[in-house]
Amino acid sequence: MMRDLPQAASAALLLEWYDRHHRDLPWRVPPAAARKGAVADPYRVWLSEVMLQQTTVQAVKAYFEKFLALWPTVGDLAAADTEDVMKAWAGLGYYARARNLKKCAEAVARDHGGRFPDSEEGLKALPGIGDYTAAAIAAIAFNRASAVLDGNVERVISRLHAVETPLPAAKPEMRALVQALTPADRPGDFAQAMMDLGATICTPKRPACSLCPIPTDCRALKTADPETFPRKAAKKEKPLRLGAAFVAVDGLEAVYLRKRPETGLLGGMTEVPGTDWTSRRDGDTSIDAHPFPAEWEPCGTVNHVFTHFELHLSVFRARVGRADVGEARTGTSGWWEPLASLRAQALPTVMKKAIAKAIPHAFEAG
């Protein structure tokens, strides 16, 4: 029992700090409201956690508010048109999340009566929910004593215990340490306290150790430089891939767009015609790879960094008549989108870059 007392004391100090210094986030129930009986909405918690994967809090806030305005409940999202969901997600990146978001909402509405399962195992059975997201929802929405381990928590726990094993191999060890530290009382607030500590004080660079509520427990602070934790395996250099994008504009200042296949990278998103590049191979970069005959002219190159590779797209532009573009003539189907409504399309960032390269004022309209 004596071994558990330091852990309990640390958790209590961290919760006291969280009560005073928590971040105000639109999906969160603040401690004062929780003490008055307010409870977290599992839909909001799930939506925010999916959006926050590989994305900053600042970037997510506006998207979260937009989704709630469009689809206030999981049932509303389940009934939404997939294309509308993809359009609303455009610009947030990692588009498989949007497809899984829709599938998960459908599963909750269809198989669970519109109520999220309240256990990690039940949550992990849903589309797009892995270990971390299941633990976060279970803790924050249902107050389960789950070990929540995101990037912020990894940093905090690795410094508290001076974990020498590099990531990602250290994840099981870190998860066990977080589990041992998680209190039975207020585990959801504790998980969010760990996240806030990592986001605001125990930061990657120049951590504010003098403001930390639990500095005496930090082995990294006592024995090493906290900035060197978590240890990380050497990163592999991202491969460079090449491709081409073709921006066709008609006499009415509309751009020719098409939809990508549902599966694969950027699946189901909108694009301008281009060559067949992937994360594993280059596409043709020449003007001869055009999707249909026109007076194509080079506009330069745009660069975009994906998770596992970097892409350089050669961009070409042509002014064409609508009669010259069509499935019967070109073997490709698509549609003409006015510049004024381009912003509303499900265009991933890389495609917006390509269009803006060809038409600098494209996204100034609307």
Instruction: Give, in degrees to the nearest 5, the angle at Cα 98 between 303 and 46.
Output: 125
CATH architecture of 2-228: Orthogonal Bundle (1.10)
Q: Are 174 and 149 in contact (CB under 8 A)?
A: yes
Q: Residues 101, 104, 105, 110: what is their CA dihedral angle, to the nearest 10 degrees?
A: 160
Domain residue extents for the chain: 2-228, 240-358
Return the CATH superfamily for domain 240-358.
Nucleoside Triphosphate Pyrophosphohydrolase (3.90.79.10)
Q: Average pLDDT over the chain, rounded to whole? A: 92
At residue 332, what is the residue type? T
- Residue 364 a catalytic site member: no
The Cα–Cα gap between 89 and 283 comes to: 26
- Residues 6+ positions from 223 with CB-CB distance below 8 Å: 162
* Closest of 245, 249, 258 to residue 334, by C-alpha: 258
pLDDT at site 333? 76
Asked whether this chain's domains 2-228 and 240-358 adopt the same fold, the reply is no
194-229 residue pLDDT tens = 999 999 999 999 999 999 999 988 999 988 899 999
282-319 residue pLDDT tens = 999 999 999 999 999 999 999 999 988 999 999 999 99
Write down the catalytic residue from 16, 49, 164, 327.
49
- Residue range 1-11: average pLDDT? 60
Radius of gyration of the chain (CA): 24
pLDDT at site 105? 98
Measured CA distances, 205 to 171, 200, 201 (Å): 21, 11, 10
Answer whether 0.85 is exceeded by the pTM.
Answer: no
Measured CA distances, 202 to 122, 134, 146, 273, 326 (Å): 32, 24, 21, 45, 56
